[in-house]
Amino acid sequence: MDHYKSIFELARKVLGDRRLAESWMTTKLASLNNQTPEELLKSSANGHKELEGYLSNMLDVMCGAK
């Protein structure tokens, strides 16, 4: 499975909706230096690891983890 597909599937699981995941993948995010997750995957060899961590943190916040 390529990195784009694995990150997209993880985003879909975290966000709970395919359309939200599609939107998230193409939205410039300040926490990613105004890059989209899609751009980060293309520009960084470790972009997929950064995005996995980002989504994990997002899930923690959504679930109220401390």
CA distance 66 to 22: 28
**Per-residue confidence band for 1, with pLDDT thresholds at 50, 70 and 90:** low
C-alpha distance from residue 23 to each of 36, 47, 66 (Å): 10, 18, 27
pLDDT tens readout for residues 11-66: 999 999 999 999 999 999 999 999 999 999 999 999 999 999 999 999 898 888 65
Distance between CA atoms of residues 32 and 57, nearest Å: 13
